């Protein structure tokens, strides 16, 4: 079995191969791995990241609306809709899995009231888990002693969906394909999103939800069935939920914590860096043109969509977050992780798991699950968001 795991020097060598190209800031964003000595053009902050996420959604909605309402050419309609759906779904995922995620950790702004208010507004708009319930399960359970146990609601979701240890890797890949295309999966997932906004929430949140549902109902009536399906349902329900599953499945190795294994060691052993990219050819000579063509196609049609849909923002370095979840400068994830990685490497203690290519991370997770003994499970309490 091929294990695409890179140590510090091998991983850094891949990133350094991009130095043959201009615009190193772009490649740091795309790959998720920083060059140790690179100085950014400006210092980012939480507000910038929120605006980026919202702009992705706005760009996506505009492009989809153009494809559905104004463009007459079928080919242009399809291309415009696909690009728009990519931006819409990835923007929504950015908001939920990065912005709201760091909001419940209290890392967006110094004021926790501002963090909560922003998270409540955004989670209402995208019909996902409210602030308090998300904070309880994620900060106090997933990042706590329940991590990598059957009480971890993320691990429980993986197992309950059928991605259990002991199955063959081909069976796990088939399970993934069937789940992504399953109407039942999408209906149950979306039902959970609706339920989390209507039941067991404070009165103010219930009112926010009902007002937003009324707005969506009016908008759906105005744009019609076709507009509702292609502008709202497909990107913000179906593609969003596919992306959510792909992120969750590749986020950790999802093996139950072994007896005697500490919580901290479990976080280190089960967390992955999912860098998006592959080594550049050594130069631009004619003999490497074929290699450059393949490299370009992989970056356009695999690495870029994966970066946008599955590992937005700091998710690409989610392994660093599990080690330093209290650091407020989450938007500086690539540089901070690189500084820590350098330190560990210099001390001959490097224990990060670097994987280049989300497809390789998926293969690594499913291979790891297939090599473990079967786990007997009953009904598990889980959540999807």
Cβ–Cβ contacts within 10 Å for residue 374, how many? Answer: 9
Q: Which residues of the chain have pLDDT under 50?
A: 1
pLDDT of the residue at 383: 72
| pLDDT single digits (tens) 231-267 | 999 999 999 999 999 999 999 999 988 888 888 888 8
SS3 state at 5: strand
The pLDDT of residue 16 is: 97
| Nearest-5° Cα angle at 369, 143 to 163 | 80
| Token pair recorded at residue 75 | 């080919």
272 in helix, strand or coil? coil
Tokens of residue 205, six digits: 């949140």
Please give the C-alpha separations between residue 178 and each of 72, 156, 189, 297, 319, in angstroms, as whole numbers.
34, 19, 15, 27, 28
Structure tokens at 251: 């986020």
Rounded distance, CA 249 to CA 365, Å? 8
What pLDDT score was predicted for residue 328? 86
Q: Quick one: 111 exposed, middle or buried, by C-beta within 10 A (0-12, 13-18, 19+)?
A: exposed
Specify the length of the chain in residues.
Answer: 385
Residue located via tokens 């060059």: 35
Q: Quick one: pLDDT at residue 1?
A: 44
Query: Distance between CA atoms of 384 and 158, rounded to whole angstroms?
Result: 10
What average pLDDT does the chain have? 93
Q: Is residue 260 helix, strand or coil?
A: coil
pLDDT of residue 3: 61
What pLDDT, on the 0 to 100 scale, is given for residue 178?
Answer: 98
For residue 41, the 8-state DSSP code is S
Residues forming a β-bridge with 252: 271
**Eight-state DSSP code of residue 20:** G
> DSSP state, 6?
E
Enter the DSSP assignment of 21: S
Domain definitions of the chain by residue range: 5-32+131-371
Q: Quick one: pLDDT at residue 191?
A: 95
* Collapsed DSSP state (helix, strand, coil) of residue 274: strand
Distance CA 140, CA 296 (A): 42
The CA distance from 267 to 352, in Å, is 10
CA torsion sign, 81 to 87 to 90 to 95?
negative
CA–CA distance, 352 with 5 (Å, rounded to integer): 9
């Amino acid at each position: 079995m091929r294990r695409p795991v890179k140590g510090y020097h091998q991983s850094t060598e891949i990133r350094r191969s991009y130095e043959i190209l201009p615009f190193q800031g772009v490649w740091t964003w795309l790959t998720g791995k920083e060059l140790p000595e690179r100085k950014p053009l400006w210092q980012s902050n939480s507000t910038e990241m929120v605006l980026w996420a919202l702009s992705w959604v706005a760009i996506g909605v505009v492009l989809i609306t153009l494809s559905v309402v104004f463009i007459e050419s079928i080919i242009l309609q399809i291309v415009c809709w696909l690009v728009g759906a990519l931006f819409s779904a990835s923007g929504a995922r950015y908001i939920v899995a990065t912005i709201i995620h760091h909001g419940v950790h209290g890392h967006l702004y110094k004021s926790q009231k501002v963090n909560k208010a922003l998270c409540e507004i955004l989670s209402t708009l995208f019909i996902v888990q409210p602030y308090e319930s998300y904070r309880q399960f994620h900060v106090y359970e997933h990042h706590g002693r329940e991590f990598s146990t059957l009480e971890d609601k993320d691990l429980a979701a993986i197992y309950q969906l059928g991605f259990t240890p002991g199955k063959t890797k081909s069976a796990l890949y088939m399970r993934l394909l069937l789940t992504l295309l399953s109407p039942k999966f999408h209906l149950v997932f979306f039902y959970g999103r609706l339920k989390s906004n209507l039941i067991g929430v404070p009165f103010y949140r219930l009112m926010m939800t009902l007002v937003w549902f009324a707005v969506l109902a009016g908008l759906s009536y105005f744009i019609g069935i076709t507009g509702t399906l292609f502008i709202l349902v497909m990107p913000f329900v179906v593609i969003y939920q596919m992306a959510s599953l792909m992120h969750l499945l590749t986020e950790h190795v999802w093996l139950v914590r072994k007896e005697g294994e500490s919580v901290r060691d479990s976080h280190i052993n089960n967390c992955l860096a999912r860098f998006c990219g592959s080594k550049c050819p050594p130069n631009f000579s004619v003999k490497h043109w074929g290699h450059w063509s393949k490299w370009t196609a992989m970056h356009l049609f695999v690495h870029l969509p994966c970066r946008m849909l599955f590992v937005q923002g700091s998710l690409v370095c989610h392994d660093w977050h599990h080690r330093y979840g209290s650091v407020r400068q989450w938007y500086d994830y690539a540089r901070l992780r690189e500084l820590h990685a350098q330190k560990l490497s210099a001390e001959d203690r490097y224990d990060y798991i670097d994987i280049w290519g989300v497809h390789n991370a998926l293969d690594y997770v499913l291979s790891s699950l297939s090599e473990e003994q079967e786990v007997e499970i009953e009904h598990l309490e889980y959540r999807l968001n």
